[in-house]
Amino acid sequence: MLRFDDQIIAAQKDEGKIESLIRKYEPFILSSAAHVTGRHVTKSDDEWSIALLAFYESVQSFKPDKGRFTAYAKMSIRSKLIDYFRA
């Protein structure tokens, strides 16, 4: 079994692995979005799409020497959603 950071690095090189990672971490993405919005978020909400894009971009740009992935992804989701609400 690959360590979590190693899974992220592998997913950066393989689109299929990113899709698998997204499916595996859907609850994390939804929870992160709900935390920012202050309400329950479902996969039919715009906030889901924005959080999903932020998670995807986080996977693509993650560097393990900069810290934990989950903290980075949460920050990215929060930032994207705040930008969305401001627009």
In total, how many domains does the chain have? 1
Among 24, 26, 34, CA closest to 1: 24
pLDDT at 64: 86
Name the DSSP class of 73.
H
Q: Is 76 left (phi over 0), alpha (psi -120 to 50) or beta?
A: alpha
**pLDDT of 6 strictly over 90:** no
Q: Which domain holds residue 75?
A: 4-86
- How does pLDDT run across 23-49, given as a tens digit for each residue? 999 999 999 999 999 999 999 999 999
pLDDT tens digits for range 51-81: 999 999 999 999 988 888 999 999 999 999 9
* CATH code of the domain containing 19: 1.10.1740.10
54 vs 1, 51, 70, CA distance in Å?
26, 5, 12
Regarding predicted confidence, which is higher, 50 or 68? 50
DSSP code at position 66? G
